[in-house]
Amino acid sequence: MSRSLSTRALVLPGLAFLLVVFVVPVLFMLKVSFTGETAAGDYFSRFFGSGAYFSVLITTLRVSVVVSFLTLLVGYPISYFIYSRPERQRPVLLFLVLVPMWMSVLVRTYAWMVVLGRQGMVNSLLLDLGITATPLKLMYTTGAVYLVMVQVLLPFMIVACFSGMSEIDHTFVRAARILGASPGYAFRRIFLPLSLDGAVNGFVLVFMLSMGFFIVPALIGGPKDTMMANLIEIQVEQADWGFAAALSVVLLVATIAIMFLIRAASRRFTFSLAEGTRP
Amino acid sequence: MTRRPGIFLTAYFWIVIAYLLMPVLIIVPLSFGRQEFMHFPPRSFGLRWYVEYFSSTPWLESTFRSLRIALSSCLLSTFLGCLGSIALERGHMPWRGFLSGMFASPAIVPQIVFALALFIAAVALGMTGEELLLIVAHSVLGLPFTILIISSALRQIDPTLERAARIMGAGPVRGFFAATFPSLTPSIVSAAIFVFFISFDELIVALFVMGDKQTLPVRIWTDLRFELSPVIAPISTLMVAFTVIAMGIAEFLRRKAVQQKSQMGKS
Amino acid sequence: MRRIWAALLLGGLMSLSTASVWAAETIIISGSGGSLTDVQKSVYQEPFTRKTGIQIQNIATTNRISALKAMKLTGKALWDLTELSGPEYQQAIEGHYLQPLDWKVIDPENKMPKMAKREYGLAVASYSTILAVRTDKLPKGKEMKSWKDFWDVKDFPGPRALQKGALDNLEFALLADGVSKDKIYDVLRTDEGVDRAFKKLDEIKPYITTWWTAGAQPVQMLANGDVYYTSAWNGRITKLAADGVPARIIWNEGSLKPSFNSIPVGAKHPKEAEQYLAFTISDAKMNADFAKQMPYPGFVPKLYDYMSKEQAESMPTYPPNVAVQFESDNSYWAKWRAKLDERFQAWLLQ
């Protein structure tokens, strides 16, 4: 009992830190914002009353979910590849994945403009090869937002998936193989469910980061690619703290709701994978 | 799973790496351009922007400041996150769900709101413009990631081994370090990487609270408002080159050590 | 009990900080940062420090109205002097964040034009949102001269860009619709006028490749050839031409905006800040030096005596350029910007 108490106490430094640096200032700011001439409820009805604002929320959710799925689909096999290499090669391969992170997102966004622009590399190539007669519109589209956001967030996903995989106790997989399971079967029934924890982590991390993105959509998205974070930034610029706080609360609730859904869905998915019957 | 991956997976890996490295491939040649504007491909080559970078104290200072802050906050955040995760996973914690939610909140509350809130607190306490303030802020922003990654690793690690060590007479700290810590290392390292890069590229909080002590992203951003100075190209290039070289040396030393060991074994 | 907790929290935070103490002779200026501040440092601040011994510390800021609001809330002013855009200046006055300036100290000889001397601020610099054109992409024998031409997609085909937001665009739309420069804000102050502007924007909307959000964007897009015609801040367009990109500023119907330097309420060194302001307008040659490096000139008389004609022609406050532009109305935008931006956002999503 005393041991578990002293283990519990380990949460205190982090918790105290979180309270002092984050929770108290943010709650204070929300309190200040909502105690003005305008009642808090009016800010929310302003949000839900205007179709434009609501569609920004929908855009934010859509972009975040799509980006999270894309990074998972692209990233999981990469992590698996790195994991399947001999142990001494892994750091070098992981390092390759992390190299682009040394460039600020702003700089990377500008680099992508060079690639995707009207007279950019892709268009020059297509024109030279005669595939198109007029330059394609690649920049300032939702597709460009996905392409760049996935590039920015992919390393996070790969690292999360990989660290999930490297915790798997290999005796399980080996045992399955000794008992006569095919490699594919062992992968599906044992490795995949066990590595899913890391994949779900990666998904959640990328999702949370996406919900707060605004630089990439603002610089290379189309006219309709406005994100919630962008809208909140505009309110802070105008010193309309009340509306900024209301928008944040909306974003917060939406994010938490989606995260619950992800957790619930992944639990059922892992369960159904692991509970499959032998062939 | 040291089964050889198929040719398809290998090819796929290199395609994705090319995609990830695309901005690097663009920025490196740009850094050797000589024009006022970022134009690809550069029309004339030279070291103009490298000279500009190395002769500019503000740029150099902000580079080192960013590195310093990122390193400090990744250490602090990983340490706190590690302790917190152990408590959450091994302490039979009451209110565990609520506490996990609390720790996730800095990643969910929009950064600009946190930035403004922290700014109000910092102004009230007269501590704007302190590097320590930003280190603390970035550590908080990193906590959700460290807790998430390390907790999930702890859930997968069998506590029996640590229990066995304790029964054999190891103290709680020694028991942890001998039995659990080794399998926890990959997650701790990846958590630290997360926080480092989140801090290294964080703009909004730094813009609010740092005053005259600009970090690299702030410096890039303030420049971007009027013009995009090509100085950012050599900075990015140097960062990449520096890490590639460091990694290369580390890899070389490791191979040499392995070689020496095997030779010693033979003699 | 609650107080003890609060004290503990405060104490914890305090002990983290190594309370910053400023020497009495340091003034803190909040500005744009980046290369603009670098030039201010070398042209104004270093000579000022040499002359008076007063040190200057520059901090780069955005969201200044929110920051001023936070300072008022906590009762602590961090800045002695702050740069403010026109609408920000108006908002800051309405929030009572600024203190009045003592013009007897700043401009004892009374030489500055009235436009630059406001109750709470000195107009220190100016910039324009102008029409910028890639001249090599113009149809043969044609010149783009006005916003009417910008709207004319038949005679001037090609990709275009405008800034994201209502500011400037409503004015440009009305000009394209035939409203004269001096009537713009009369029209915009009526509901029908705003509707008219949005209706005119409907026409151009399908031809806008992107709505830019950062000042560097239109410049970069012109350089890449992503757009042929765009609204832009005047600053770097002239340098594009020097760099081999055939781009030109159309001053006609540009939106001229002064930006201000003001002293926040509760500033610790208001006297020194006023001394600094006085110094910056004391010498026209110094102002010319600044404008040559950063084409955002102030309003000091005789400024253009120290510039070549070619240099002067690239400045927003050069008299012949002023004559063809209109002055952006701060009080209008301070009052309506939030509402109009909201409508603009909704309009974009339609």
| Residue A107 sits at the chain B interface (C-beta within 8 Å) | yes
Residues C346 and C342: their CA atoms lie apart, in Å, by: 6
Contact A21 B236 (CB under 8 A): no
Residue C145 above 80 pLDDT? yes
> Helix A228-237 and helix B111-125: axis angle, to 10°?
30
Give the pLDDT band (50/70/90) at residue C21.
Answer: very low
| Residue A20 sits at the chain C interface (C-beta within 8 Å) | yes
Percent of chain A with pLDDT strictly greater than 70 = 96
Residue of B nearest to C74 (CA): B124
**Which chain A residues have a beta carbon less than 8 Å from that of B100?**
none
Cβ-count burial of B159 within 10 angstroms (0-12 exposed, 13-18 middle, 19+ buried)?
middle
pLDDT of res. B266: 60
Give the pLDDT band (50/70/90) at residue C208.
Answer: very high
Structure tokens at B149: 């990654």
Q: Exposure pattern of B54-74 as b/e (b: 16+ CB <10 Å)? A: eebebbeebbebbbebbbbbb
Residue A8 above 50 pLDDT? yes
Contact B223 C73 (CB under 8 A): no
Question: What is this structure's pTM?
Answer: 0.87
| Residue C82 sits at the chain B interface (C-beta within 8 Å) | no
Contact A218 C348 (CB under 8 A): no
Query: For residue C302, is it left (φ>0), alpha (ψ between -120 and 50) or beta?
Result: left
Centre a 10 Å sphere on the Cβ of residue B3 and count the other Cβ atoms it contains. 8
Contact C20 B126 (CB under 8 A): yes
Residues B135 and B65: their CA atoms lie apart, in Å, by: 11
Residue of A nearest to C207 (CA): A223
Q: Mutation test of the interface with chain C: which of A18, A19, A20, choosing the one with the most C Cβ atoms within 10 A?
A: A20
| Residue A257 sits at the chain B interface (C-beta within 8 Å) | no
Percent of chain C with pLDDT strictly greater than 70 = 93
Q: Mutation test of the interface with chain A: which of C211, C335, C344, choosing the one with the most A Cβ atoms within 10 A?
A: C211
pLDDT of res. C20: 41
Cβ distance C137 to C148 under 8 Å? no
Percent of chain C with pLDDT strictly greater than 90 = 75
Residues B61 and B63: their CA atoms lie apart, in Å, by: 5
pLDDT of res. B267: 55
**Residues C287-305: what's their mean pLDDT?**
92
Structure tokens at A46: 């302003």
pLDDT tens, position by position, A248-267:
999 999 998 998 898 888 88
Cβ distance C98 to C120 under 8 Å? yes
**Which chain B residues have a beta carbon less than 8 Å from that of A253?**
none
Residue A234 above 80 pLDDT? yes
Cβ distance A82 to B5 under 8 Å? no
Contact B207 C62 (CB under 8 A): yes
Please, what is the average pLDDT of chain C? 90
Q: Compare CB distances from B111 to A11, A212, A247 and report the shortest one's residue.
A: A212
Q: How far is CA B42 from CA A103, A214, A249, C45, in A?
A: 20, 29, 47, 36
Contact A238 C65 (CB under 8 A): yes
Residues C348 and C350: their CA atoms lie apart, in Å, by: 6
| Residue A30 sits at the chain C interface (C-beta within 8 Å) | no
| Residue A52 sits at the chain C interface (C-beta within 8 Å) | yes
CA C172 to chain centre: 17
Residue of B nearest to C33 (CA): B222
pLDDT of res. C40: 94
**Residues C297-303: what's their mean pLDDT?**
91
Give the pLDDT band (50/70/90) at residue A270.
Answer: confident
Choose among C87, C85, C26, C86: nearest CA to C58. C26
Q: How far is CA C153 from CA A141, B124, C134, C135, in A?
A: 22, 54, 15, 16
| Residue B132 sits at the chain C interface (C-beta within 8 Å) | yes
**Residues C72-87: what's their mean pLDDT?**
93
| Residue A139 sits at the chain C interface (C-beta within 8 Å) | yes
Give the pLDDT band (50/70/90) at residue C134.
Answer: very high
Residue C1 above 50 pLDDT? no
Contact C235 B227 (CB under 8 A): yes
Instruction: Of A187-196, B138-147, C203-212, give the lowest mean pLDDT range.
Output: A187-196
**Residues C149-177: what's their mean pLDDT?**
95
Q: Mutation test of the interface with chain C: which of B133, B140, B227, choosing the one with the most C Cβ atoms within 10 A?
A: B227
All residue ranges of chain B with pLDDT < 70 are 1-5, 225-228, 265-267
**Residues A13-32: what's their mean pLDDT?**
93
Given a contact as 3+ CB pairs under 8 Å, which chains touch C? A, B
pLDDT of res. A16: 94
| Residue A253 sits at the chain B interface (C-beta within 8 Å) | no
**Which chain C residues have a beta carbon less than 8 Å from that of B212?**
28, 57-60
> Helix B7-31 and helix A51-84: axis angle, to 10°?
120
Give the pLDDT band (50/70/90) at residue C175.
Answer: very high
Residues A215 and B221: their CA atoms lie apart, in Å, by: 11
H/E element, C168: none
Instruction: Of B244-258, C29-43, C251-265, C295-309, give the lowest mean pLDDT range.
Output: B244-258
Give the pLDDT band (50/70/90) at residue C6.
Answer: low
pLDDT of res. A2: 54
In this structure, the strands spanning C229-233 and C55-60 are unpaired
pLDDT tens, position by position, C108-129:
999 999 889 999 999 999 999 9
Residue of A nearest to C7 (CA): A20
Cβ distance A150 to A71 under 8 Å? yes
pLDDT of res. B226: 64
Q: Compare CB distances from B118 to A4, A25, A197 and report the shortest one's residue.
A: A25
In this structure, the strands spanning C208-212 and C160-163 are parallel
Residue A269 above 60 pLDDT? yes
Given a contact as 3+ CB pairs under 8 Å, which chains touch A? B, C
Contact C209 A137 (CB under 8 A): yes
Give the pLDDT band (50/70/90) at residue A221.
Answer: confident
**Is the peptide bond preceding residue B234 cis, with omega within 30 degrees of 0?**
no
pLDDT tens, position by position, C226-235:
899 999 999 8
Q: Where do runs of H (alpha helix) occur along B32-130?
A: 48-54, 57-90, 96-108, 111-125
**Which chain A residues have a beta carbon less than 8 Å from that of C349?**
51-52, 55-56, 223-224, 226
| Residue A233 sits at the chain B interface (C-beta within 8 Å) | yes
Q: Compare CB distances from A114 to B16, B26, B81 and report the shortest one's residue.
A: B26
The residues in A 105-124 lying below 8 A from C, measured between CB atoms, are: 110, 113-114, 117-120
A63-77, A82-96, B31-45, B225-239: range with highest mean pLDDT: A63-77
Please, what is the average pLDDT of chain A? 87
Distance from the Cα of A277 to chain B's closest Cα (Å) equals: 23
Contact B223 C35 (CB under 8 A): yes
